[in-house]
Structures are given as structure tokens and as C-alpha cells.
Amino acid sequence: MMDYGQGSGPLKNWIVAEKGFSTAHLGKSEAILSLGNGYLGLRSATEEPYLGEKRNLFVNGTFNQAAPNEVTELPNMADVTRIDIRVDGGRFSLELGGTETYIRQLNLKTAELQRTVDWTSPGGKKFRFRFRRFVSLQSLHLIGMKWEAESLTHPAEVAFDSGIDAQQSNSGAQHFLEGERRVFGDSMLQLVQRTGQSGVDAVISTVHRLSLNGQPVGAAPSKNMARRKVWLSFSVQLQPGDKLEAEKLSTVHTSRDSEWTGKPYSLEKLQERSVRELEEHAAAGYETLFSRHAETWKKEVWDKKAVVADSDDPFDQLALRFSLYHLTVMAPAHDDRMGIGAKALSGEGYKGHSFWDTEIFILPHFLYADPGTAKSLLMYRFRGLEGARKKAKANGFRGAMYPWEMAWPSDGEVTPEWGDIDIVTGTRQKILSGLLEQHISADVAFAVWQYVNTTGDREFLEHCGYEMVFETADFWASRLEWDSGRCEYVITDVIGPDEYKEHVDNNAYTNWLAYFNLTLAVKWAEELAADASAQFGGLPARIAEWREKAEKLYLPGPRQDDSVIPQDDTYLQLPEIDLSKYKEQAKVRTIYRDYNAEQINGFQVTKQADTMLLFDLLGQTFLHDDPRLSEAAKRANFAYYEPRTLHDSSLSLATYAIAANDIGNTALAYSLFKKACGIDLGPAMDTSDEGIHAAAIGGIWKTAVSGFGGVRQKDGILEISPRLPAAWHALKFPLLWRGRRLTVEATKDRLSVSVQDGGRIEFESHGRKYGAEGRIELPLGRNLTVNR
């Protein structure tokens, strides 16, 4: 039903469309067509309700614990999108009567959701409905809606109920206390909510404007209130040819908004601000507000950050735009107390919690295209030190042990205790990641390294970066276990990126990243120790400990015979099973139909890129020339692990696509890129129900720019080594490096890099160094497979 080839002329490859409607697949469109601006996230449920819909509206950062036995999560706010439309008293529903033409589409260029439907009522009257909606990027609190009803054949009464409905919950969990509801005059409504545990006030206000054939509709609506709801009921008589237009403008404000930080707050002030702002919006009207919003998208997003691919398959360009669209709507660029959830703000999945997904798969885009937002995301982790220290202490360690799942920065670990049902025992399974998936602390340190390296932001380094890296190093120093038999430090009983393996010892990724973390701390602390004004007490002793631990930490290296790095101490000794059945499935996690977690733990089967990610990440650090992470080892490990990896996490494909491209298998790389795009844009109709896959969407960008575009860094050196897939004729993208804005344009045989301010730019490409002012153009060789 989904169509990604929509749009023609100037809108070609800007449109994600649903061309047929089915209630069996509501979640797909609700999620992938969702709107937002980093402050608000609004799932694209249709105006008229359907069974099975999820009508989610999230405000970033408003975490609340619904009950003492649940973890904190982003609460589902009151809904303003539902409009109950009746035609001659009968419900307007695409499941009733007849639908002749139907299209629902997200215009990525203007970030507007549009729907047009020609509908015949069960009574045989024809109507044209058109619905439009946006969440403003220009005015973060604003949701704009507009709809038209045109009677095509008969006189008819069109009536609708529209208001604010706080009967929403998070799949039954209610976060909000019931609050005040008001009606102002004949068109404005206000509803107040307050989270039960975290005490966040939310004020939702909405205003309506109706016109019939361009003339204001005079008749006053009736006013209604029910539990947690307030709404207006409108009724208009249409003659054939009459067109009813309705605008509904809504604002959402909360006491957590950064406007109130350090200022005297009261609910009354918030309510006043809400009304005042909405009155200004009402005076402007939908079209003006929408223009401002679309203009902001043009200037701030498409003009500045677009990745342009000239591909034989125009879908690739659409996917790149889809990626940038969602990267934009998911990022809380306005507030550094907030992160990006695994499903961003597009669904209840993972409760709005941030994972390592942000640092490893989403941050790269912001590092290179929007370093201000990258900094904001790292500041979120900096603020999270409080929770990370809490977690370390609770687990008997020192320093900062970052939570596997993070919500409000001071919350610490918020991973839920229980997961899905075990098909064998009939009981729920414990989720161990919160305790055992410890690489997250090193992942954060890696992100700090990347950010500082990319931007040269010394202020961040001094105020935040040092502390984050030193404290995570302290964690590892306290975490390592001395194996007196082996005379080295080991890390036992962890979960690596491959979550199909629980309670493993010496997961290669974890040990190497811990090593990186410790070594980075040594490196930076030594720089700092040389500075007399340094304020970190006891550095020499800490440096000594970090160095000793790093030096004696066991780092799994390539096996003698086949260069395969053991994923952990036992993986390579486990029995193998035929995985083809699961590899071929369009759905993920099908292996769970045959085996339970304990059984899967005992086979050579990997959920997602684990050892391969080592090569990607550490290859971009001062460890890039470690012989154990050589090009040959990368090839060998790719060959070994890819067949054993089910890509059952959306985090897997980008890593393998980039690795495949690096080792010259551009065809496989391109096919993995397509699969990565298909995680949300593909034909599977229910896998995005809980929300879009934020890491996979970051992975689309990462595969294009870091993979095909070849943008990496090595210890302070920018690398641009494009290697385009066969179908791609050109690739163009912006790149911010150390405060300079570059434009990179690559074809199969040429690379051009220009710098906006005309200053000097230096980079490496395919093993050679280049440097010049203003612009560098260079030829790309035909046979580049072994350059890295």
C-alpha cells in the first residue's frame, strides 16, 4: 500500500505516500509519516478514528513513572488530532461507504501531512475531503491542522466533534492527573494535565475557525465536557458544490520547557502564555503559519544539510530525504537536557529512552551536518553523569557507568526489568541489558572523542568532555577483573552488541572499547596534566591506574589460522545451526519461533554487527593503525560473521554495508543499504508499529556519507574516500569540519571538496593527503578496493 515513487516535477522524490487505506496496517503510516520538531512528536493517526490506531503525541523530556513498578517513560499527551466527522448523522469512515480516490502523503520538503479522499457515504452522497497537518519547525509549540469537506452531489449536513482528549494512555498506563478544562468563547478550548510522579504540567490549547465557501460560519458550536475531555460540536449544512474549510490550531506547553529554567514558574503563567501564543497563531491562520514552517525547513534543513544522490533508482534519493527528515524531527536541538529515543518521538516503543543508538548511529549526521545539535546531544550525556555515577555506585563500581537506557538525565538506569514471553516456560524473560550491556559507557566516551575531534570544540572538552572520559575510564578501571591465571585483566559476564549472547566473557567489542576509553583518558589526562590550571585532582594516580589497566587488559585478536577475532571466549566453540531459514525471512526475530533465548545463547548465531563494529569505530581513532584491526582482519571477520548474523536489530545493516563497501564489495554494500532503507520504508507493514527505527534512519545517512561518501576521521585527520555503488553517478553533501563548512561532490571518478569561507582545507582520500584553499578537485582511481 505504501508508495515511495510519488511526486513529480519539483516534488519528485519528496513524497512518501500511502495509496490505499487498510486498518490492518495503521501503525506503519502513523509512524513513518509522523510529524515533529524535536520538541513535539506527533504520530500521524488519521483524523477520523479506527480500531487499532495509536494516537500518540509526545513532548520530549516530559518523562514520568506511571506507577511505582514501572520505569519512567515519555507520556502520551492529550490528543488534538481526532475529528469525529458525521455526514447526515452517519460516521465518516473509510471502512464504510465507498472510497474512490485516496492518497495520504508526507511531503518531506514542507513537512506537511496531506490526505485527499473522494468518498461516497453509505447513503450514496459523494464528498471530497482534504486534510492537512504540520508540526511547526518555526514555532515549536504549534500543531496546525486544516481540513475541507466538499459536497459533490447532494445537499448534506456535515457535522464534527473536535477538541482535546486526554483519555489517551501509554497502552493502558496513565501518566497524567486529570486537570482543568475550559472553553473560551465559541472556539477556544484549553485542557491542563499534570504527570503524576514527575509533576510536569502540560497545557494544551486549541482554536477553531470555520468557513463555508470562503465566508465565516456563524453558528456557534455546542460545548461539551467529559472525563479528561473537552470538545466542540459543529454542524454545517452543505449544498452541492459547497466547500467547508476548517482550521484547528493547537499549542502544547509544559512546565519542563526550557523557557522556565531559572525563572519563576506558575501554572497560571503557563496557561496565559498558551492562550496568548495561540491567539497570535489564530490571527495569522493556517496558511501563514504553514509558510513560515515550510520556509524554516527550506532554510535550515534542505538548503543546509541535504545529501543528494544521483542514482539509477530514484528511491535512494527519497530514502536519503526520509532519513534527513526524521533526523530533523527527532532531534531536541532546542534543549540539551534531552536525548533521542530509540523510536524517537514516533511511538511508545522503548518508552522514549535513549540507547547507544544515538552515539553510534545517529550522532554522525549531527557531527558533520549540525554540530550544535551534536553538542546538545552530548550535553545530555554530560548531564547524565549524575545518573551514571548513581548506577556505578549501585553496582559497586567507581566513576560513571552509563545507563543502558536513559531518560531524564538524573534518573540513571531505566531499563525495564521484564521483556517478552518465553515460549518454552510461558513466563516473561528478564531483560539483562541494564546490568550486563556495559559497552555503553565506552560508546559515550567514543562519541566525546569524535565530537571533539570533528569540531575542535575545546570549551566542551574542558567543561564536559574530560570529565565524561575520565569518569567512564574510572568505571572501567574498577570494572576490570584480574585473572591471576592468565595474568591479565578480563571482563566477564557481559552482553556485547550481539544481544543473543548473554553472560559472555571478554566480548571483543566491549574489551576493545574499554581499552579505547582507558587509553583516551590517559592521552587526554596527560595533555591536561601538562596544563597548570587543570582542575582534576589526583590525575597522576588515575593516569597510572588507567595505563596499567589498559596495558594489561586482554584484547581478543585475530586467530592465527583465519584472522577471525573471537566475538567472546566461547562463541567460536559453539555448535552451528542452519540459519538460512531465518536469514531469508523478511521479518526479524523469526528464530524465536523455534528456540528460546537460552537455546539461542548456545549457537553460533549473532543478532547484529558486533565484532565488525570494532573495525568501524576504532578505525576512526588513534587506534586506527593497530595491526590487530588491519584491513585483512576486517575482511576475514566480515567473511566469518556476516553469514552468522541475522541482522535482527535495525542497528546491524549500516555497519555491514559500510564494511562491505570498504572491502570493495560495493554490490553487497548497496544491497545492504537498500535493506537498511527498507527497515522503515520497506514493504513490511507492521515492523514500524511501535515507532520508526531511529538508529536505522541514522544508518541510512551514515551508509551514504560515511560509507559511499567515505567520510571518516583518523585521530584528527579528515578522510574523504568516496566509493560509489554502481547505481550512483554522483553524490553531494555538506560537511562541517573544525568549524568550516565544506561541500563534497563525488562521482565515480572525481571528488571535489569546496570550503564555504574560502579558507584552507586538508583531508586524506584513498590513502593520499590533500590540502588547499577554497577548493580541491581530484580524480578517483578505478581500483580502490584495498586503500583502507
Chain residues in the site for a second copy (CB under 8 A): 23-24, 49-51, 66-70, 89-91, 93, 95-96, 166-174, 177-178, 180-185, 196, 223-228, 230, 420-421, 423, 426-428
Q: Using CA atoms, how far apart are residues 339 and 337, in angstroms rounded to an integer?
A: 7
Q: Note if 499 is an active site residue.
A: yes
Minimum separation from the CB atom of position 50 to a second copy (A)? 7
Closest CB to a second copy among 181 and 337?
181
Determine phi and psi for 170, rounding to 5 degrees. -95, 90
Closest CB to a second copy among 201 and 616?
201
Which has the closest alpha carbon to 309: 18, 677, 774? Answer: 677
Q: Using CA atoms, how far apart are residues 63 and 148, in angstroms rounded to an integer?
A: 36
Q: Largest Cα–Cα distance of the chain, in whole Å?
A: 90
Determine phi and psi for 632, rounding to 5 degrees. -65, -40
Minimum separation from the CB atom of position 45 to a second copy (A)? 13
Q: Which of 18, 73, 245, 499 is catalytic?
A: 499
Closest CB to a second copy among 341 and 399?
341
Q: Using CA atoms, how far apart are residues 518 and 537, in angstroms rounded to an integer?
A: 17
Minimum separation from the CB atom of position 576 to a second copy (A)? 27
Cβ–Cβ under 8 Å, residues 406 and 387: yes
Minimum separation from the CB atom of position 284 to a second copy (A)? 24
Minimum separation from the CB atom of position 624 to a second copy (A)? 44
Closest CB to a second copy among 29 and 93?
93
Q: Which amino acid is at 159?
A: A
Cβ–Cβ under 8 Å, residues 120 and 97: yes
Minimum separation from the CB atom of position 383 to a second copy (A)? 29
Q: Using CA atoms, how far apart are residues 325 and 317, in angstroms rounded to an integer?
A: 12
Placement of cell 568550516 in the chain: 740
Closest CB to a second copy among 8 and 23?
23
Instruction: Determine how many CB atoms are found less than 10 A away from the CB of residue 758.
Output: 11
Closest CB to a second copy among 221 and 412?
221
Minimum separation from the CB atom of position 222 to a second copy (A)? 8
Q: Using CA atoms, how far apart are residues 285 and 182, in angstroms rounded to an integer?
A: 22
Residues 6 or more apart whose Cβ sits within 8 Å of residue 69 = none
Looking only at the bridges linking them, the beta strands covering 711-714 and 750-755 are unpaired
Minimum separation from the CB atom of position 205 to a second copy (A)? 13
Closest CB to a second copy among 418 and 482?
418
Which has the closest alpha carbon to 44: 54, 30, 55? Answer: 30
Instruction: Determine how many CB atoms are found less than 10 A away from the CB of residue 24.
Output: 11
Going 38 to 44 to 50 to 52, the CA torsion angle's sign is negative
Cβ–Cβ under 8 Å, residues 130 and 115: yes
Minimum separation from the CB atom of position 255 to a second copy (A)? 17
Eight-class DSSP state of 572? G
Q: Using CA atoms, how far apart are residues 675 and 682, in angstroms rounded to an integer?
A: 8
Find the distance separating the first CA and the last CA of the chain, reported in whole Å. 42
Q: Using CA atoms, how far apart are residues 495 and 509, in angstroms rounded to an integer?
A: 10
Minimum separation from the CB atom of position 51 to a second copy (A)? 6
Cβ–Cβ under 8 Å, residues 361 and 702: yes
Determine phi and psi for 380, rounding to 5 degrees. -60, -40
Minimum separation from the CB atom of position 330 to a second copy (A)? 23
Residues 6 or more apart whose Cβ sits within 8 Å of residue 708 = 661, 669, 673, 722, 723, 724, 725, 728, 731
DSSP 408-474: SGGG-----SEEEE-TTTSSEEE--HHHH-TTHHHHHHHHHHHHHHHH--HHHIIIIIHHHHHHHHH
CA 706 to chain centroid: 18
Minimum separation from the CB atom of position 95 to a second copy (A)? 6
Closest CB to a second copy among 170 and 666?
170
Q: Using CA atoms, how far apart are residues 528 and 466, in angstroms rounded to an integer?
A: 9
Closest CB to a second copy among 16 and 230?
230
Closest CB to a second copy among 183 and 730?
183
Instruction: Determine how many CB atoms are found less than 10 A away from the CB of residue 457.
Output: 20
**β partners of residue 173:** 170
Closest CB to a second copy among 107 and 170?
170
Closest CB to a second copy among 420 and 757?
420
Closest CB to a second copy among 350 and 368?
350
**β partners of residue 251:** 142, 205
Residues 6 or more apart whose Cβ sits within 8 Å of residue 477 = 398, 399, 518, 542, 545, 546, 549
Cβ–Cβ under 8 Å, residues 587 and 678: no
Minimum separation from the CB atom of position 21 to a second copy (A)? 13
Q: Using CA atoms, how far apart are residues 679 and 697, in angstroms rounded to an integer?
A: 9
**In the numeric block, which cell numbers belong to residue 563?**
584472522
Residues serving a catalytic function are 499
